């Protein structure tokens, strides 16, 4: 009885047995332990029966003994079925190959479009994109995602303000906003130089125009420094005033430095896991180790896979696990003060032009509260305070 | 000698309530309606046709009559026959 279950797995044949000694043959089969089943009388001297293919060799001599003859009617079972299928292998392989190719092609970069850029910028952008791996024929799921691309490209290109990256099917669209660098006006119109802010004049160098202030003089914001009117009274001439007026100005900055700071730094060891997300089920493809890091940072990049124009319920996930190291920095009060001063200086520097000089710094106020050092710093700065103010000439005056 | 032994076995079966099929090599026949007949302890096939199956037993023969017979499975000591069974007869002739 148990043999019935194995029928589809083992290959078996249906045969027609013809002859007088059929009963003897069956008995002989039993004696030889050859399984035979579904014995059915088809006509007066013939029966049909099923036999395992592996037993046919042992079956032949029994046929001779009993004077029966066999004819094969059907071949069944997995091996025969597989063989029949294999006869159509070209079709099946072709179909599978077609699906595989269609799938691969659906996930490839086919086109790169750039809009809003002049030819030079476009060329630079395409080169920068090529360095990031965006080329025709690359697999989309192996590239960084659109947001990262946008950030990296915008950083790589210095003559554009913004690059919008979007992925439309198999086409990457780059939308470029170029920086418009205004051309310098060569022709100078008549103008005065006025003070940018409250200051004490330190030094001045006037190329053109009539200086109206002297060193050590205090000026308010907006007061006239160099006049555009030159010449004696009555014969005045308008010129564009030009010069540098160094003034001493004052800045106050407040900084707060915590005495204890915790940092997260990468130790450099990381693990990359590749996964396939199938209907929300994550199947690891490569990388099974978890790293067993004490502290770690995990970043994931998920790319949906496409087939033709449909997005499959599958996506490719690249998971990166980086080991981090917690570093605790503790300042003494003096160290915190130094750090605070450096920070304050940096902050002031940000506000100043390149040619400005910090002449003196003073601590106005300092306090320690809640584990933080609060510093209030005062700076004396020498900077160019001249700003241009055009002289409006009223027509018909 | 054989006869005497048979007598003893028969006596044992009757007095000690031992299973007769095991002790005396008798066929055990299970039928499921008219559809199936399952015979254990047979000694080979004598004849098989659509309407009749003749089996050898240790003593005598077993004849099964009916329609559309198919031997579903046949093993050295068991046989499963399918069809519409009309009768089971014992045949003393060897």
Domain of B49 in residue numbering reads as 26-91
- Asked whether residue B83 is assigned to any structural domain, the reply reads yes
Q: Which of B48, B54, B76 sits opposite A41 (nearest CB)?
A: B48
Residue of A nearest to B55 (CA): A23
State whether the Cα torsion A178-A181-A182-A183 is positive or negative.
negative
- Confidence (pLDDT) at A391: 82
Together in a domain, A349 and A203: yes
Together in a domain, A55 and A144: no
- Confidence (pLDDT) at A185: 61
Cβ A37–B71 below 8 Å, yes or no? yes
Cβ B74–A22 below 8 Å, yes or no? no
- Confidence (pLDDT) at A1: 46
Contacts of B69 in chain A (CB under 8 A): 40-41
pLDDT at B94 over 70: no
- Asked whether residue A382 is assigned to any structural domain, the reply reads yes
Together in a domain, A121 and A231: no
- Confidence (pLDDT) at A397: 47
Q: A80 to chain B, minimum CA–CA distance in Å?
A: 22
Contacts of B73 in chain A (CB under 8 A): 1, 3-4, 37
DSSP letters of A39-89?
EEEEETTEEEEEEEGGGHHHHHHHHHHHT-EEEEEEEESHHHHHHHHHHTH
Together in a domain, A126 and A145: yes
- Asked whether residue B45 is assigned to any structural domain, the reply reads yes
- Confidence (pLDDT) at A11: 83
Together in a domain, A278 and A338: no
- Asked whether residue B54 is assigned to any structural domain, the reply reads yes
- Confidence (pLDDT) at A121: 86
- Asked whether residue A96 is assigned to any structural domain, the reply reads no
- Asked whether residue B6 is assigned to any structural domain, the reply reads no
Cβ A30–B44 below 8 Å, yes or no? yes
- Asked whether residue B2 is assigned to any structural domain, the reply reads no
Q: What domain count does chain A have? A: 4
For the segment B63-89, the average pLDDT, to the nearest whole number, is 91
Together in a domain, A240 and A126: no
For residue B88, what pLDDT band results from cuts at 50, 70 and 90?
very high
- Asked whether residue A93 is assigned to any structural domain, the reply reads no
DSSP letters of B42-81?
---EEEE-SSEEEEE-SSSEEEEEEEEEEEEEEETTEEEE
Residue entry with tokens 């025709």: A136
DSSP state of A249: E
Separation of alpha carbons A116 and A128, rounded Å? 16
Last residue of a domain, one of A157, A178, A199: A178
Q: B80 to chain A, minimum CA–CA distance in Å?
A: 9
Separation of alpha carbons A176 and A160, rounded Å? 7
For residue B93, what pLDDT band results from cuts at 50, 70 and 90?
low
Together in a domain, A392 and A299: no
- Asked whether residue A88 is assigned to any structural domain, the reply reads no
Give Cα A71 to chain centroid, integer Å. Answer: 68
Together in a domain, A240 and A288: no
Residue of A nearest to B75 (CA): A30
- Asked whether residue B16 is assigned to any structural domain, the reply reads no
Separation of alpha carbons A73 and A134, rounded Å? 61
Residue of B nearest to A4 (CA): B73
Together in a domain, A154 and A194: no
Does A36 contact chain B (CB < 8 Å)?
A: yes
Together in a domain, A197 and A281: no
Contacts of B50 in chain A (CB under 8 A): 41
Chains A & B: contacts with CB separation below 8 Å: 47
Together in a domain, A240 and A356: yes
Q: What is the CATH number of the domain that holds A173?
A: 3.10.20.310
User: Over its length of 397 residues, how does chain A's per-residue pLDDT go in tens digits?
Assistant: 445 566 667 788 899 999 888 888 888 888 888 888 889 988 888 899 988 888 888 888 888 888 888 899 988 888 888 888 888 888 889 999 999 999 888 888 888 888 888 888 888 888 888 888 888 888 888 888 888 888 888 888 888 888 888 888 888 898 888 877 777 666 678 888 899 889 999 998 988 888 888 899 999 998 888 888 888 877 888 888 888 999 999 999 999 988 888 888 888 888 888 888 888 888 888 887 777 788 888 888 888 888 877 888 888 888 888 888 878 888 888 888 898 899 999 989 988 888 888 888 898 988 888 888 899 999 999 999 988 888 877 655 4
Residue entry with tokens 């045949």: B91
Residue of B nearest to A38 (CA): B72
Give Cα A110 to chain centroid, integer Å. Answer: 19
- Asked whether residue B71 is assigned to any structural domain, the reply reads yes
| The pTM of the whole model exceeds 0.90 | no
Domain of A167 in residue numbering reads as 111-178
Q: A84 to chain B, minimum CA–CA distance in Å?
A: 27
Separation of alpha carbons A347 and A361, rounded Å? 13
- Asked whether residue B20 is assigned to any structural domain, the reply reads no
Predicted complex ipTM: 0.78
- Asked whether residue A91 is assigned to any structural domain, the reply reads no
Q: How many residues does the structure list for chain B? A: 94
Cβ B47–A23 below 8 Å, yes or no? yes
State whether the Cα torsion B17-B21-B23-B24 is positive or negative.
positive
> Which two three-digit tokens encode residue B38?
């399952």
Contacts of A41 in chain B (CB under 8 A): 48-50, 69
Separation of alpha carbons B89 and A376, rounded Å? 120
Kindly report the average pLDDT of chain B as a whole number: 86
Q: What is the CATH number of the domain that holds B33?
A: 2.60.40.2000
Together in a domain, A271 and A390: no
- Asked whether residue A306 is assigned to any structural domain, the reply reads yes
Q: What domain count does chain B have? A: 1
Q: What is the CATH number of the domain that holds A30?
A: 3.30.70.260
- Asked whether residue A248 is assigned to any structural domain, the reply reads yes
- Asked whether residue A140 is assigned to any structural domain, the reply reads yes
Does A120 contact chain B (CB < 8 Å)?
A: no
pLDDT at B15 over 70: yes
- Confidence (pLDDT) at A395: 57
For the segment B52-78, the average pLDDT, to the nearest whole number, is 90
Nearest to A298 by CA among A277, A283, A282, A320: A320
State whether the Cα torsion A129-A132-A134-A137 is positive or negative.
positive
Nearest to A295 by CA among A262, A259, A261, A258: A262
């Amino acid at each position: 009885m148990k043999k019935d279950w194995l029928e589809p797995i083992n290959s078996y044949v249906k045969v027609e047995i013809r002859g007088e000694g059929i009963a003897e043959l069956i008995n002989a089969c039993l004696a030889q332990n050859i399984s035979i089943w579904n014995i059915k009388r088809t006509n007066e001297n013939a029966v049909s029966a099923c036999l395992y293919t592996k037993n046919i060799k042992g079956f032949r001599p029994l046929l001779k003994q009993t004077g029966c003859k066999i004819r094969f009617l059907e071949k069944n079972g997995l091996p025969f079925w597989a063989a029949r299928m294999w006869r159509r292998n070209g079709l099946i392989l072709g179909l599978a190959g077609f699906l595989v190719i269609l799938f691969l092609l659906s996930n490839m970069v086919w086109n790169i479009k750039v809009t809003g850029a002049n030819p030079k910028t476009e060329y630079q952008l395409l080169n920068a994109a090529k360095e990031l791996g965006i080329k025709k024929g690359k697999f989309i799921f192996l590239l960084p995602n659109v947001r990262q691309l946008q950030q990296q490209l915008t950083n790589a290109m210095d003559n554009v303000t913004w690059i919008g990256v979007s992925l439309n099917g198999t086409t990457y669209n780059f939308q470029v906003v170029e920086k418009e660098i205004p051309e310098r006006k060569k022709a100078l119109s008549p103008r005065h130089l006025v003070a940018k802010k409250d200051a004490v004049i330190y030094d001045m160098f006037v190329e053109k125009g009539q200086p109206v202030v002297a060193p050590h003089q205090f000026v308010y914001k907006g007061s006239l420094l160099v006049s555009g009117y030159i010449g004696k009274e009555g014969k005045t001439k308008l010129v564009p005033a030009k010069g540098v007026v160094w003034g001493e100005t004052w800045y106050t900055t407040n900084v707060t430095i915590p005495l204890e700071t915790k940092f997260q730094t990468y130790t450099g060891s990381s693990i990359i896991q590749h996964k396939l997300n199938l209907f929300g089920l994550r199947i690891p493809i490569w990388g099974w180790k978890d790293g067993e890091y004490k502290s770690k940072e995990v970043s994931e990049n998920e790319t949906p896979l496409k087939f033709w124009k449909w997005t499959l319920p599958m996506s490719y996930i690249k998971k990166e696990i980086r080991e981090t190291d917690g570093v605790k920095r503790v300042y003494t009060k003096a160290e915190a003060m130094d750090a605070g001063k450096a920070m304050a200086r940096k902050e002031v520097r940000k506000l100043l032009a390149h040619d400005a000089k910090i002449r003196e710094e003073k601590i106005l106020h300092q306090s320690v509260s809640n584990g933080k050092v609060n510093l209030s710093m005062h700076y004396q700065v020498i900077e160019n305070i001249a700003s241009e103010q055009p002289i409006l000439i009223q027509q018909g005056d | 000698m054989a006869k005497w032994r048979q007598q003893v076995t028969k006596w044992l079966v009757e007095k000690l309530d031992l299973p007769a099929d095991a002790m005396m090599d008798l066929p055990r026949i299970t039928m499921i309606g008219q559809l199936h007949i399952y015979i254990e302890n047979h000694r080979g096939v004598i004849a098989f046709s659509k309407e009749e199956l003749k089996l050898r037993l240790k003593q005598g023969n077993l004849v099964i009559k009916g329609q559309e017979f198919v031997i579903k499975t046949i093993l050295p000591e068991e046989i499963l026959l399918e069809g519409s069974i009309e009768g089971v007869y014992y045949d003393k002739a060897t």
